[in-house]
Amino acid sequence: MEERISFERFLFGDGKSIVINDIEFFIDRIFVLPKFQPHKLEKAVSLSVEYCQNPDFRRKFLEKSNECPVLIYQLFKRGIFEFENIEPFLHSRDTFILCCYFRKEINNFGNFVRSKQIPYDFDESLLGNSNDIDQLVEYGFINSSLEYCLKYDVIDDLPKFDNLNHEAKWSPFEWSLRPQYLNLLSFAGYFGSIKCFKQLLLKGFEINKKVMSMVVCGGCFDLFHLCRGSTQFSIDNVCRAAEFCQLSLLVFMKENGTDIIAKAKYEFNLFLMRLLFILLLGRVILVLLNI
């Protein structure tokens, strides 16, 4: 029987036999991890803590602070970085989100942050409410919002939202990659919110190919089985599973008769091809992929 390969082992090996030849490439992979799989933010943090003992890693991490503010902030909270290490990287105009994470450390934060390039979809009135900013930084969304309810599967709060006939609004403080389809059902599926997903189905929402695509991106097995029914897996399903490193879904597709190599050839996705060949070999290669 083929071994179930976890994302961490596939990308980082067992932590002992990997030789890191390209520090910047390795850091890029760590920064990407929580963006593709939000629930693995803590894994990215623990890897960062381990490797930031190396001065070269620390320097490169700081240089990339603006690429994943939540990761830098978590390292700051754990004492890996001091604010004086981070402060020099806050002066660029495009560091609005990063600055908000360090609002309590920045002198005269209100004036400082208004000199930044504010995301076009951000409500500037929120800057006057420290509680709202705290919630955005901590959760990605305001606690009273429908998006918060759907992301964290707060089923008890769902009935208070009367109008469900609109798309979810993405937050600039959400660190994961933005789903391509923001129908409420797909939004809940992307974050693996099983209870809200089922409740939306009862309210008349329908599963379609786009919703299935977002469920595959999220990697929730329960929702994946709920959505797939008796349909064959599409090229998009295979490519999304590979893109978001949902290896268990790829293995499941292969074991259930999907010719994933043929689909990969049709799509001609280089990363997908490399990943699938490793799966078919049935073993883990303990080196970083040069992609």
| pLDDT digit string, tens, across residues 153-200 | 999 998 888 778 788 999 989 888 888 788 999 999 999 999 999 999
Tokens of 63: 């240089």
In the numeric block, the tokens 């693996």 are attached to 192
Q: Is the predicted pLDDT of residue 119 greater than 60, yes or no?
A: yes
- The predicted-structure confidence for 220-232, as pLDDT tens digits, reads as follows 999 999 988 755 6
Sequence ranges of the domains in the chain:
1-118, 143-230, 232-291
Residue 9: CB atoms within 10 A of its CB come to 15
129: pLDDT confidence band, cut at 50, 70 and 90?
confident
Q: Which residues contact 159 (CB under 8 A, 6 or more apart)?
A: none
Average pLDDT on 214-224 reads 92
| Residues whose CB is less than 8 angstroms from the CB of residue 165 and which lie 6 or more positions away in sequence, other chains included | none
pLDDT in tens, 68-98: 899 999 999 999 999 999 999 999 999 999 9
Among 275, 212, 276, 217, residue whose Cα is nearest residue 244: 217
Split at pLDDT 50, 70, 90, the class of 289 is very low
End-to-end, the C-alpha distance of the chain in Å comes to 28
17 has a pLDDT exceeding 70: no
Instruction: Name the helix (H) or strand (E) containing 32.
Output: helix 23-36
Q: Which range (147-151, 170-174, 189-193, 241-245) has the least confidence? A: 241-245
Give the pLDDT of residue 261: 62
Structure confidence at residue 19 (pLDDT): 41
**pLDDT confidence of 102, banded at 50, 70, 90?**
very high
Mean pLDDT computed over 246-265: 72
Could you tell me the two tokens for 65? 């602070």
Task: Specify whether the CB–CB gap between 162 and 184 falls below 8 A.
Answer: no
Cβ atoms of residues 2 and 251 within 8 Å: yes
- For residue 204, give the 3-state DSSP assignment: coil
| Averaged pLDDT score across all residues of the chain | 79
Which CB contacts under 8 angstroms, 24+ apart, belong to 6-14?
Answer: 6/247, 7/33, 7/37, 7/40, 7/245, 7/246, 7/247, 8/40, 8/43, 9/284, 10/245, 10/247, 10/275, 10/278, 10/284, 11/245, 11/288, 11/289, 12/47, 12/288, 13/284, 13/286, 13/287, 14/286
Q: Which fold has domain 143-230?
A: 1.25.40
116: left (phi over 0), alpha (psi -120 to 50) or beta: beta
pLDDT digits (tens, 9 = 90+) for 53-76: 888 888 888 998 898 899 999 999
How much is the pLDDT for 187? 95
What's the pTM value of the predicted model, to 2 decimals? 0.80
